[in-house]
Amino acid sequence: MRLAAQIKGGYYPAPPDAVAHAATFLRPPNGGRFCFLDPCCGEGAALQQIAEILNAAADNVYGIELDPERVATTQSLLPDSHILGPASALGVACTRKSFSLAWVNPPFDDQISGGDRVELEFLRQMIDWIVPGGVICFVIPESTSNHWSFRQLFIQWFEEISIEPFPEHCRPYNEVIVFGRRLDRARSPWSLNWNHELQLPHMYDIPTGRKPTRFIKVELTEAELRDALRVSPLQRHLQPHADSLLVEPPLSLGKGHIALLLASGHLDGIVQPEGEPPHVVRGTAKKTQYVAGVEQSDNADGSVTTKTCLSEKITLTVRAVGVDGRIRTFEGG
């Protein structure tokens, strides 16, 4: 996302003239319930405007918004509707195939990781939530509507596809509205051609639908996650441990004890016996092979058989460096 867009949190509300223009292509059902969703509703202006034009009952209007202040604005604008937030539309659980109409004007962005575009993530989510026969109005810059991956996904799940630009006087980012009607099931995108599928913009009859029985936030937003991490009790695992006090053994260690400590790596680190300068010591133990014995025997035919017995022993190497910087190596007793 460009820096200016990041500062605005991707908030580019659709101008009222563009929303009104889009609504001229939408016709509500003649009786029967239809539910309408804006999954990134900003301050709710477009949601309210379309709901009013289409005469949608407040209780059938749904919105999701990430930014806490914009959520509050939308909730006060549409107090009787279902406005969820702060929440990411990608972190909401909703009954599948519920909405008859979706107005989707997502932030234009590349995902931080993964390389997939965020517009595609929104489109996938909408495919899940829109009822078969339901209508999508997807707002994107014209250049994005030309992306192969967007077209492939759209063509797979929608028919009656048409593209209408925002009115010329309010089109700062060359936005277009991509209309489509959701299919019952996905079709193979390979056998289809985008240009053949494209129709002229026309009237879209909105089908009736049902209210989602589930419409809840199931994931923390990134800001909430940061706050939760800051106060998490697990933070203590990331703090440096307080130095533990070394206890003196009741009797001084014998040579064997010290050798074992070195061999097992427990005497690594800084050593500073009382009254002596500090030094760093590191012990390593490795196996080395040696000839344990050689036996020779005379054979009946006058030849000699020699048996060499190889064995292994542990060899300790201790390196110590003192304040003078000299490394001293002690090995093999």
Ligand X SMILES: C[S@@+](CC[C@H](N)C(=O)[O-])C[C@H]1O[C@@H](n2cnc3c(N)ncnc32)[C@H](O)[C@@H]1O
* Residue closer to ligand X, measured from CB, 67 or 164: 67
* Residue closer to ligand X, measured from CB, 41 or 101: 41
Q: In 10 A of CB 38, how many CB atoms?
A: 28
- Report the nearest approach of ligand X to the CB of residue 225 (Å): 13
Separation between Cα atoms, residue 51 and residue 70, nearest integer Å: 18
Three-state secondary-structure class, residue 182: strand
* Distance from the Cα of residue 81 to its chain's centroid: 30
* Residue closer to ligand X, measured from CB, 93 or 314: 93
Nearby residues of 167 by Cβ (< 8 Å), 6 or more positions away: 17, 18, 21
- Report the nearest approach of ligand X to the CB of residue 46 (Å): 4
Interface residue list for ligand X (CB under 6 A): 9-14, 38, 40-42, 45-46, 64-67, 70, 88-90, 105, 107
- Report the nearest approach of ligand X to the CB of residue 262 (Å): 57
Pick left, alpha or beta for residue 120 (phi over 0 → left; psi -120 to 50 → alpha; otherwise beta): alpha
- Report the nearest approach of ligand X to the CB of residue 147 (Å): 18
Amino acid at 136: I
Exposed/middle/buried for residue 189 (C-beta within 10 Å: 0-12, 13-18, 19+): middle
* Residue closer to ligand X, measured from CB, 65 or 204: 65
- Report the nearest approach of ligand X to the CB of residue 260 (Å): 59
* Residue closer to ligand X, measured from CB, 115 or 269: 115
